[in-house]
Amino acid sequence: MTNRGIDIKNRKQRGEWAEMCFMARAAAHGLCVAKPYGDSARYDFAIEHEGHFLRVQVKSTKYMRFGSYICHTTSTQPYRANQIDFFAAYVIPADAWYILPASALQGKAMVCFSPHRKTSKYGRYREAWHLLRAKPSKPRAARVGR
């Protein structure tokens, strides 16, 4: 089947399509996927596995420059560590997902993915769906607000 996402010209529509692809792929990996209501959360999905929740921001790209695919990791402003746990970046032409801890991208406005190279900086995160099954290393403190 042809990867139709590459033909979607409108960036927002292509992003919505990539989010649906993420939901399907995550479910195929046995993950429970929840979508927050509305459009104001800083993350696109919550992934639940064995009672643990992770916040995932989905990004996608089809743009190649200097032999690598360029993926922007910011929105109108950079994501903070307390807003998301993972990025799920979809390189559309290669049909490759990268599951990256947000901490690996702190301070970066964009990343370059090279799925065609045997050794690449983010290669270890390619199709790393198992990271979304890991238990958090430290519990988050509950906040009580007024």
Confirm whether 57 is domain-assigned: yes
Structure tokens that stand for 104 in this block? 């690996």
Mean pLDDT of 109-130: 90
Amino acid at 75: S
Q: How many CA atoms lie within 13 A of 53 on its CB side?
A: 12
Provide the whole-model pTM. 0.85
How far is Cα 99 from Cα 128, in angstroms, rounded to an integer? 5
State the residue range of the domain holding 17. Answer: 4-133
Angle value at C-alpha 112, between 64 and 78, nearest 5 degrees: 115
* Residue 109 pLDDT class (50, 70, 90 cuts): confident
Is 138 part of any domain? no
Does 117 have pLDDT greater than 90? Answer: no
Is 118 a member of any domain? Answer: yes
Q: Is residue 139 part of a domain?
A: no
- Res 113 pLDDT > 70: yes
Angle 32-37-42 from CA coordinates, rounded to 5°: 85
Per-residue confidence band for 43, with pLDDT thresholds at 50, 70 and 90: very high
Q: Is residue 119 included in any domain, yes or no? A: yes
Q: Which sign, positive or negative, has the C-alpha torsion 102, 107, 112, 117?
A: negative
Cα separation, 59 vs 76, whole angstroms:
14
What is the model's pLDDT at position 1?
47
Question: What confidence score (pLDDT) does residue 108 get?
Answer: 83
- Residue 144 falls inside a structural domain: no
Number of domains present in the structure of the chain: 1
The CATH number assigned to the domain holding 111 equals 3.40.1350.10
Mean pLDDT of 85-104: 93
Comparing CA positions, the residue from 118, 132, 117, 130 lying closest to residue 53 is 132
User: Cα separation of 74 and 85, whole Å?
Assistant: 14
Q: How far is CA 2 from CA 7, 30, 53, 95, 114, in A?
A: 10, 25, 33, 10, 21
